[in-house]
Amino acid sequence: MRRARGRIAGIAIAAALGGAAWAGGPATAGRQQAEKSAKASPAVTTAQKSAINWVGWSDGVFEQARKENRFVLLDLEAVWCHWCHVMDETTYRDPEVIGLLHERYIAVRVDQDSRPDLSNRYEDYGWPATIVFDGQGKEIVKRQGYLPPGDMSSMLQAIIDDPTPGPSVVPEEPVEYSSAAITPALRDELEKDYLAGYDAKEGGWGFGHKYLDWDSVELAMVRAKRGDARAERMVRQTLAGEERLIDPVWGGVYQYSTDGVWSNPHFEKIMSMQSENLRIFSLGYAQFQDAASLKAAKDIHRFLTTFLVSPAGAFYTSQDADVKPGEHSAAYFRLTDAGRRKQGVPRVDTHEYARENGWAVAGLAAFYSATGDAAALAEARRALAWVEANRSLPDGGFRHDTKDVAGPYLGDSIAMARAYQALYGATGDRGLLAGAEKTMRFIERNFRAPAGKDAAGYLTSKVPTDRAYIVHAQRDENVEVARTANLLFYYTGNADYQKMAQEAMRYLAAGPIARRLPVASTLLVDYELSRPPLHLTIVGHKDDSAAQALFQAALRYPVAYKRLEWWDTREGRLPNPDVQYPELQKAAAFICTSRTCSPPIFAPDALAARVDKLTAIAGSGE
């Protein structure tokens, strides 16, 4: 959504910091190093502070570098990122660094949120990422995270002395794509990795950084619903840990915590974390009916509508980690609302990207489905309408921003297709299903990888970042393509979407891709593509209160992989009329499996028990 694996951008911390960058508690090695560097740097003038002539990313940069015999330094940052601010306040104000950059480099700075293609290309390096190229666009050095002035100046000089690519630049691992399914042996391997990656002491998947890995938790929810007690303990423990990362004053969720515990947060609040945490906590509340998950979801919703929504109803991108750039904010975030506002409010990035709005809409749809909060549904519809009016492309896709310097990007269109589909499932509004179909057709036309054993899935961008680079597929985006296209196939009966899901899975099923953490992402797609979704249909007029009550009960049923339809006979046949339902005198619900459909259900309170019983008999596991 979408991270050091696509959606959680910046979760990898600089290797130079030993994973110790922490915005609270005792000063760690990384923090001490940064503070020492800041103190060691001599006083600089205002002119020196702005002495680096930062330019944007383009092919023209490499043309200039060739002509002037310069290197290209890319500072790929995140505007909400604490260590990016520290590097700007220390490293890029250091006279020696400035001098070397002036002498032999073209300095390029890009906000990774603004360029999903570059963000996906260097997602494994976290933010800030520092990459140096020669004039041909070939990589010489790739560095992860904060670089203090001394390290930076040494690196810049070493490149001048010997521009041979260093050990950080390694050939890509060859991948051969064949089957649109993982092998039984690979599935067993992924299962072992999934369980071994769980932190039984603290909860959560991973032992260094603590955060809510959405796919891992959702997969555990699926298994818990099927009666797996261990999976249920994993979910409950992880959600309880993540609750500690929710801001108790303003709501919203901090991006992650360090040092293997949930109590050392980094304070940035980025849309991917807000939207997906909102979705997962909503699913958790629906499944377990626990007050803590409901409170968490409400607190995230409160932050979104207080700090990240524009007057026009679109959603902004993020809120900064720091009140003052480069200064740790642990003490600030312990203050009350009044105490914080007295010092100022961390900067909000007011870019309104289609991708981030698609994420927000999907999260709000899940929140509405679990709680019936009509305001959340209205907010989701309003954001969707804003994106349609302001980010639509003529042939069905979406721009990232007001004007894209590159693109279009897969991330924007798949986020919007998913948003349309989520809202269709929450409302039965056929216009939303048509929007999802139109956008998925755009994705197929523009992003499908060339046919062959050396490429598969869907590419992250329509065009390469530069002439020296071939556009690649990115795993999280292909997970979303596979899941969205697969469910769209069941909603519409159009086999083209099933083929899209299989093509995305052909990429995901390749061993080197499937083994990337978190392995739950591939396992979740494997689960959904191997069976039909839970199928619930409400038959009745949409202005009939009895039909509305049945639809709301079906919405609340705690399964994410669900085909929920509302057949109002006045609208004509269902988009996928694979089941023939009777027209009755009063509204009714039906549950269908691959082998049978239930008798009509008239009482909303009886729906959940009937679903449990029928799916258990059918052996669908739902």
CA-closest candidate to residue 2, choices 328, 385, 337, 415 = 415
Tokens at residue 271, please?
């849309």
| Cα distance between residue 486 and residue 500, in whole Å | 8
Residue 449 lies in a domain: no
Residue 356 lies in a domain: no
For residue 147, what is the domain's CATH number? Answer: 3.40.30.10
CA dihedral 394, 395, 400, 401 (to 10 degrees): 0
Q: Is the pLDDT of residue 2 over 90?
A: no
pLDDT at 616: 79
Read off the pLDDT of residues 552-575 as tens digits, 9 standing for 90 and up. Answer: 999 999 999 999 999 999 999 999
Read off the pLDDT of residues 436-446 as tens digits, 9 standing for 90 and up. Answer: 999 999 999 99
Residue 431 lies in a domain: no
| Cα distance between residue 324 and residue 536, in whole Å | 51
Residue 332 lies in a domain: no
Q: Is the pLDDT of residue 11 over 90?
A: no
Read off the pLDDT of residues 126-158 as tens digits, 9 standing for 90 and up. Answer: 899 999 999 999 999 999 999 999 999 999 999
Tokens at residue 51, please?
């002495």
DSSP state of 228: -
pLDDT at 27: 33
Kindly state the average pLDDT of the residues 532-553.
Answer: 97
Q: Which of 161, 196, 220 is the C-terminal boundary of a domain?
A: 161
Q: Which of 141, 161, 181 is the C-terminal boundary of a domain?
A: 161
Residue 140 lies in a domain: yes
Number of separate domains in the chain: 2
| Degrees, nearest 5: CA angle 149-94-54 | 100
pLDDT at 617: 67
Q: Is the pLDDT of residue 14 over 60?
A: no
Q: Which of 128, 161, 194 is the C-terminal boundary of a domain?
A: 161
What percentage of the chain exceeds 70 in pLDDT?
A: 91
Contact indicator for 263, 244 with CB cutoff of 8 Å: yes
Read off the pLDDT of residues 151-195 as tens digits, 9 standing for 90 and up. Answer: 999 999 999 999 999 999 998 888 989 888 999 999 999 999 999
User: How far is residue 367 from each of residues 379, 423, 566, measured CA to CA in Å?
Assistant: 11, 11, 19
Kindly state the average pLDDT of the residues 450-474.
Answer: 92
Residue 451, classified by CB atoms within 10 Å of its CB into exposed (0-12), middle (13-18) or buried (19+), is exposed
Residue 422 lies in a domain: no
Query: Letter for the amino acid at 613?
Result: K
Tokens at residue 561, please?
């992989």
Kindly state the average pLDDT of the residues 418-433.
Answer: 98
Residue 581 lies in a domain: yes
| Side-chain-facing half-sphere of 127: CA atoms under 13 Å | 30
Distance of CA 148 to the CA centre of its chain: 30
Q: Is the pLDDT of residue 32 over 50?
A: no
Kindly state the average pLDDT of the residues 443-459.
Answer: 92
Q: Is the pLDDT of residue 13 over 90?
A: no
For residue 47, the enclosing domain spans 15-161
Q: Is the pLDDT of residue 227 over 70?
A: yes
pLDDT at 567: 97
410-427 and 430-447 helices cross at what angle (nearest 10)? 160
Q: Is the pLDDT of residue 37 over 90?
A: no
pTM of the model: 0.92
Average pLDDT in the chain: 91
Peptide bond connecting 599 to the previous residue in cis, omega within 30 degrees of 0:
no
Residue 317 lies in a domain: no
pLDDT at 31: 43
CB-based contacts of 330, cutoff 8 Å, min separation 6: 23, 24, 25, 267
pLDDT at 51: 86
| Cα distance between residue 160 and residue 153, in whole Å | 11
What percentage of the chain exceeds 90 in pLDDT?
A: 85
Residue 580, classified by CB atoms within 10 Å of its CB into exposed (0-12), middle (13-18) or buried (19+), is exposed
